[in-house]
Structure 1
């Protein structure tokens, strides 16, 4: 009786890096599915963190009589909310990237059209530019003081 020893990954950290096969075409179906899995797991992790924050803020909300305690709690909540706001923007970017996968436009630089590369996408699955274009953008930003 054969047993399936493969376990579906539960977090992004559980996903092994993609190993390209000899002669494999760039952004073939297996590669797109690999990155779709990573993006969906990442999005799920972020959504779970949002839920934890909501529960934490509800459970921990208290009207402390001491102004220092109240200020500390407000600062903690403020930091959590800023973090969740950045994550909300990241979720939007993940959704945009998932749309690119569905449209077969994923993995190519939005500026010059060349392949972004599997290794770069492993490091940053939402990358929209190849390393050369991204480097040029960062140099321009630094020169313009943005």
Structure 2
């Protein structure tokens, strides 16, 4: 019974610590700052670093989609040759699919920004363990550790194969 109480107290302390950390508001990062394993995980600087990275990523996606919209508004494809027209339509189809994937990506970015504000960013949604900084740098929208993601993908494959 004592171990359950100790475990519960430890979990409550970890949750409180996480909720205290959702404070990446207006932090000025030192020039060239990179998150490091040598500092406290998801401290204010790390949160601000990832928040800035996510906001910049979203901004670039929005800018690209504005360019696509401007091209679409230029009017219909005016190719005289049928082969050229088919090629142009294929290119537009690919462009629109890319924009749709990016639209979905922006919602994942928004979700990651929400997790930063709530103090849950950087922690695996399956195990509760910290996600490595290297993984977060490579994929700032990650919600699982590499191990949990691999297990999730194995389970998906098994379910798909059955």
Same fold at TM > 0.5 = yes
The aligned residue for residue 62 of structure 1 is 77
Structure 2: which 5+ runs fail to align? 1-30
The aligned residue for residue 20 of structure 1 is 36
Structure with bigger gyration radius:
2
Change (3 A) 1:44 1:119: same
Q: Root-mean-square deviation (CA), in Å?
A: 2.1
Q: Structure 2-normalised TM-score?
A: 0.73
Q: Structure 1-normalised TM-score?
A: 0.81
Contact 1:63–1:70 (CA<8 Å) still a contact in 2?
yes
The aligned residue for residue 80 of structure 1 is 95
Contact 2:122–2:143 (CA<8 Å) still a contact in 1?
yes
Q: Between Structure 1 and Structure 2, which shows a larger proportion of helix residues?
A: 2
Q: Give, in angstroms, the shift of residue 50 of structure 1.
A: 0.3
Structure 1: which 5+ runs fail to align? 1-14
User: 4+ residue stretches of structure 1 with deviation over 4 A?
Assistant: none
The aligned residue for residue 134 of structure 2 is 119
The aligned residue for residue 39 of structure 1 is 54
CA deviations on 1:69-91 (whole Å, 9 max, x unpaired) are 22222111110000000000000
- Which one of the candidate residues 138, 147, 150 is aligned to 1:132? 147
Contact 1:64–1:70 (CA<8 Å) still a contact in 2?
yes
| 2:65 equivalent to 1:50 | yes
